[in-house]
Chains A and B, each alone.
Chain A
Amino acid sequence: MARVWIPPLLRDLTGGRETATVPGANVGELIEALEQQFPGVRGRLCPGGALRPGLAVIVDGQVGRLGLLETAGPDSEVHFLPAIAGG
């Protein structure tokens, strides 16, 4: 069960809930589990089956390089944030 931080702009779908603890071995599975609890989340986070362009997933403080395939441990903390490039 990983702990997913719901982005503030998605909290209209979670009734204001800030985090959700859901089962899943990777980010894709976590999003599926979220979708069960909060219908509509999947379409907002990964329209078209991949993470929304410009969005990055952060697992335990590290940018997930594998997108939806990034593994998440049972105690992982997961965030969805704007992707960072640089100058």
Chain B
Amino acid sequence: MTTSTTGYKVIGTRPLRHDGVDKVTGRALYGADVQMAGLLHGRILRSPIPHGLLRSLDASKALELPGVEAVVTCADLTDPGDRIAELGEGAVNLKHLSSNCLARGKVHYKGQAVAAVAAVSAHLAEEALKLIAVEYEGLPHVTDVRAAMQDGAPLLHDDLVTESLGKPTGKRSNIAKHIQFKKGDVAQGFQQAAVVIEREFHTATVHQGYIEPHNATALWNADGTVTIWCSTQGAFTVRAQVAELLGIPLSRIKVVPMEIGGGFGGKIRVYLEPVAAALSKKTGKPVKITMNRADVFEATGPTPGSYIKVKMGADKDGKLVAARATLAYEAGAFPGSPLGPGAMCIFACYDIPNVHIDGYDVVVNKPATSAYRAPGATNAAFASETVVDELCEHLKIDPLDFRIQNGAREGTRRADGPVFPRIGMVETAQTAKQHAHYTAPLGPNPKAQISNPKFEKAGDGANLGFEISGLRVPRRGRGVASGFWFNCGLKSSASASVNADGTVSLVEGSTDIGGSRTSIAMQLAESLGIRADDVRPAVGDTDTVGYTDVTGGSRVTFATGWAAYEAGQDIKRQMIARAALLWGVQPEAVAYEDGTLRCLSDDKKRLTFKELSEKLHATGGTIVGRASVDPPGVGGGFATHVVDVEVDPETGKVTVLRYTAVQDVGKAIHPSYVEGQMQGGVVQGIGWALNEEYIYNEQGVMTNASFLDYRMPTALDLPMIDTVLVEVANPGHPYGVRGVGEVPIVPPPAALANAIYQALGVRMDELPMSPGRVMAKLLAKQ
């Protein structure tokens, strides 16, 4: 369902995606599909222990195996030293990035890469790994954020001291960073409160879970140039990272982004690319490395486990008066969790006069964490939105009314300082309230009644209940939660050339994970007044398109779409000049409307875009429009979700019965793909909420590194996911676009926790809310 109308011709329609046929016929080439003559296969040797010193490494036996062509270690990458660089994914310490590709002297997590082999077949490379002798000196490890913060915890890095905006603390610690935000006076604020709720929350480490494992193929040519084919969210950031890690100039590296099988933030940092390049340099042949699924779990991603404490207070009229939060995020082996955005999002849905937030970035012996869809925000919202629900319960206020009353709006000052421009938080809550889902009876559950005679029908809706040790609680519940994500702008480039048949070939720099080349092409088509199908979009490599930042932060449709719009304006100006030349008038006398050029002084003189395209060769050659943008005007995204669940009191299993996601999308360029982003985000959020977690044993080893045991949602676990697109146009974008991809993952865990509370009367404070944890809460209550 979409609620908005405009005069657009292309925007808001649902054309078939340009790359669709290749993808439904298996012809599209993804990173692992790269084949070439003489290709060698690389495999990575990984640390079996979570923490230890690398004493020695002997690869001589492996190299004796016929068919094995090379072994590389960190000695084959340059030692970048202790240097921080901006490489397109924020600030990165190169020493850490390098050690994460091939460990330097020390391993910090089970699965960290230690060496790599290239051989004529993948099986042979795997055999060779077993012949590499590595001696480790094991060190004590720590995998839990709060344990890692204790004095006396095993320290991961000898040189790590807590950074506190430049204030020297001098003390070695696993706490890499402390951040803080303050607004008003919280102590005073809580004094005005009639109700104050304070709770602690834990969330488990989870993985982005893209279905395509990481891969990279590299060819180090005889002339010293390097070509890399890979699956990445950003070809230019791969180029920058590889240049630093190999110590060669950018200009010697070409990165060709292949089709990418999901990323969600996890395919920005390089893992394999420099290693494949180093193996290619040694062998003089192209080398392809692919990860297996266990590698993906144990050595890439994940997103932080966290500890969060939230205290919120509201006055007797239900007005939020104060909020306090402490967040501690696991960065994994190296500093750099998405703590900042988590802390900045935690109360962003609300207008609260007094706020104090502290955040800690903490290293632990787990894989270095990566961005994951609205990085940091989901953990935070689980905590704050559960506390808000509890406040509503005490105040006896409908949770959506509470959000409408307290929701952030234009002019609200965020806890971190800046003031919101026009945003749609309140509209999402209002729309959710009016949605049929919100007032629909929860309904009886015939299936459960048949299978379990203990269920007794006691009327309809919420009165349905079950008996458990004399405790009568409803077994179905409905929950709501909201969420916020900033969205990003950043740099994008595009160029477009007009073909003689009236079509336009577009080259843009954003790797396409979810149909974005179509939403970008649609913005170019709209700006030119031609059909979406008349634009042929392609994703460029680092030599064929201007610098473009990563596909992430929900920025592509916004910023690269903007670049396409600007390229369209550039084409328009040139088309106008050509028409003026043909008609012997000044360009000011030519109007361009709806894909038609018109002479203002002679109404009979008209040319369609197609007609003029045919005349370009005879009037000075083809027309190329181009644009490079770094747009301001980013619009934040808000969402409010409603979910119905049913909880089996015998097993604690939570079943999602109905889900409605309401989101301010700014302007939906291609509504189907906006809905798809929302549905996909919601389902990742449901997985995070109910099942997914890294389970570690005493030895610091993840025990469930497979799709069987790391249980992501399947089609059978879910209902349809209803979406409601609220369009509060972003005033900062030519077509009103806001990012849409990230915020839908934010509300689900809290919405589900609130629904479980309605069903069982127990407050969940830990993710995932797996059957065992739900049962434990239920039994503790009795």
A–B touch (CB < 8 A): the answer is yes
A 1-32 to B, binary, CB cutoff 8 A, 1 in contact else 0? 00001011110100000100000000000000
Contact A86 B416 (CB under 8 A): no
Contact A87 B90 (CB under 8 A): no
Report which of A9, A53, A61 forms a contact with B418, defined as CB distance below 8 A.
A61
Contact A77 B419 (CB under 8 A): yes
Interface positions, chain B 338-385, Cβ under 8 Å from A, are 338-341, 343-344, 371-375
CB distance from A43 to the nearest CB of B (A): 7
A47 surroundings in chain B (CB, below 8 A): 166
Contact A45 B166 (CB under 8 A): yes
B572 surroundings in chain A (CB, below 8 A): none
SS of B interface (majority) = loop
Query: Whole-angstrom distance between the alpha carbons of A53 and B416 in the complex?
Result: 18
A49 at the interface (CB under 8 A from B): no
Contact B165 A53 (CB under 8 A): no
Contact A86 B487 (CB under 8 A): yes
B90 surroundings in chain A (CB, below 8 A): 53-54, 83, 85
Query: Whole-angstrom distance between the alpha carbons of A86 and B485 in the complex?
Result: 9
Interface positions, chain A 32-51, Cβ under 8 Å from B, are 43-45, 47
B421 at the interface (CB under 8 A from A): yes
CB distance from A42 to the nearest CB of B (A): 10
Nearest-CB residue, chain A, relative to B182: A8
With A44-B165, A44-B166, A47-B166 already in contact, the answer to whether A62 and B416 are too (CB < 8 A) is no
Contact A87 B742 (CB under 8 A): yes
Contact A84 B167 (CB under 8 A): no
Given A77-B418, A79-B417, 19 other A-B residues pairs in contact with their CB atoms under 8 A: A8-B182, A9-B165, A9-B180, A10-B166, A44-B166, A62-B634, A77-B419, A81-B418, A82-B341, A84-B344, A84-B486, A84-B553, A85-B89, A85-B371, A85-B553, A86-B486, A87-B263, A87-B266, A87-B372
B550 surroundings in chain A (CB, below 8 A): 85
Report which of A5, A10, A65, A84 forms a contact with B165, defined as CB distance below 8 A.
A10
B4 surroundings in chain A (CB, below 8 A): none
Nearest-CB residue, chain A, relative to B549: A85
Contact B372 A9 (CB under 8 A): no
Report which of A9, A53, A58, A65 forms a contact with B417, defined as CB distance below 8 A.
A58
Query: Whole-angstrom distance between the alpha carbons of A61 and B42 in the complex?
Result: 47
B 396-431 to A, binary, CB cutoff 8 A, 1 in contact else 0? 000000000000000000001111110000000000
Contact A87 B167 (CB under 8 A): no
Contact A79 B373 (CB under 8 A): no
A82 surroundings in chain B (CB, below 8 A): 179, 339-341, 343-344
Contact A9 B167 (CB under 8 A): yes
A-B contact pairs, 26 of them (CB 8 A): A5-B417, A7-B165, A9-B164, A10-B165, A18-B182, A43-B166, A44-B165, A45-B166, A52-B165, A52-B166, A53-B84, A54-B91, A61-B421, A65-B632, A77-B419, A79-B418, A82-B179, A82-B341, A83-B90, A84-B486, A85-B90, A86-B371, A86-B554, A87-B208, A87-B265, A87-B373
A81 surroundings in chain B (CB, below 8 A): 340, 344, 416-418
Nearest-CB residue, chain B, relative to A64: B632
A68 at the interface (CB under 8 A from B): no
B489 at the interface (CB under 8 A from A): yes
Contact A86 B91 (CB under 8 A): no
CB distance from B138 to the nearest CB of A (A): 32
B86 at the interface (CB under 8 A from A): yes
B488 at the interface (CB under 8 A from A): yes
CB distance from A68 to the nearest CB of B (A): 14
Contact A63 B166 (CB under 8 A): no
With A52-B166, A84-B486, A86-B742 already in contact, the answer to whether A61 and B419 are too (CB < 8 A) is yes
B372 surroundings in chain A (CB, below 8 A): 87
Sorted nearest first, the 4 A-B pairs with minimum C-beta distance are A86-B553, A82-B340, A87-B265, A53-B91
B 193-219 to A, binary, CB cutoff 8 A, 1 in contact else 0? 000000000000000100000000000
B673 at the interface (CB under 8 A from A): no
Task: Tell me which of A18, A58, A62 has the highest count of chain B C-beta atoms within 10 A of its own C-beta.
Answer: A62
Report which of A5, A53, A87 forms a contact with B371, defined as CB distance below 8 A.
A87
B180 surroundings in chain A (CB, below 8 A): 7-9
Total contacting residues, chain A, CB less than 8 A: 28
Measuring CB to CB, which residues of chain A are less than 8 angstroms from any residue of chain B? 5, 7-10, 12, 18, 43-45, 47, 52-54, 58, 61-63, 65, 77, 79, 81-87
CB distance from B140 to the nearest CB of A (A): 29
With A10-B165, A85-B553, A86-B265 already in contact, the answer to whether A79 and B416 are too (CB < 8 A) is yes
Query: Whole-angstrom distance between the alpha carbons of A18 and B486 in the complex?
Result: 24
B416 surroundings in chain A (CB, below 8 A): 79, 81
B181 at the interface (CB under 8 A from A): yes
Query: Whole-angstrom distance between the alpha carbons of A54 and B340 in the complex?
Result: 9
CB distance from B105 to the nearest CB of A (A): 24
Report which of B84, B181, B341, B632 forms a contact with A62, defined as CB distance below 8 A.
B632
Interface positions, chain B 65-115, Cβ under 8 Å from A, are 84, 86, 89-91
Nearest-CB residue, chain A, relative to B550: A85
B178 at the interface (CB under 8 A from A): yes
B587 surroundings in chain A (CB, below 8 A): none
CB distance from A12 to the nearest CB of B (A): 7
CB distance from A19 to the nearest CB of B (A): 10
Contact B553 A87 (CB under 8 A): yes
B734 at the interface (CB under 8 A from A): no
CB distance from B112 to the nearest CB of A (A): 23
Task: Tell me which of A5, A8, A43 has the highest count of chain B C-beta atoms within 10 A of its own C-beta.
Answer: A8
With A43-B166, A54-B90 already in contact, the answer to whether A83 and B419 are too (CB < 8 A) is no
Contact B419 A85 (CB under 8 A): no
CB distance from A16 to the nearest CB of B (A): 11
B552 at the interface (CB under 8 A from A): yes
Nearest-CB residue, chain A, relative to B340: A82
B266 surroundings in chain A (CB, below 8 A): 87
Query: Whole-angstrom distance between the alpha carbons of A58 and B178 in the complex?
Result: 20
B421 surroundings in chain A (CB, below 8 A): 61
A83 surroundings in chain B (CB, below 8 A): 90-91, 340
Nearest-CB residue, chain B, relative to A79: B417
Query: Whole-angstrom distance between the alpha carbons of A34 and B494 in the complex?
Result: 40
Contact B344 A85 (CB under 8 A): no
Interface positions, chain B 415-454, Cβ under 8 Å from A, are 416-421
Query: Whole-angstrom distance between the alpha carbons of A5 and B414 in the complex?
Result: 13
B418 surroundings in chain A (CB, below 8 A): 58, 61, 77, 79, 81
B264 at the interface (CB under 8 A from A): yes
B633 at the interface (CB under 8 A from A): yes
CB distance from A11 to the nearest CB of B (A): 9
B 544-558 to A, binary, CB cutoff 8 A, 1 in contact else 0? 000000101111000
B181 surroundings in chain A (CB, below 8 A): 8
B341 surroundings in chain A (CB, below 8 A): 82, 84
Report which of A54, A63, A77 forms a contact with B634, defined as CB distance below 8 A.
A63
CB distance from B75 to the nearest CB of A (A): 27
Nearest-CB residue, chain B, relative to A13: B167
Query: Whole-angstrom distance between the alpha carbons of A82 and B335 in the complex?
Result: 14
B 486-515 to A, binary, CB cutoff 8 A, 1 in contact else 0? 111100000000000000000000000000
Contact B489 A63 (CB under 8 A): yes
CB distance from B630 to the nearest CB of A (A): 5
Nearest-CB residue, chain B, relative to A48: B84
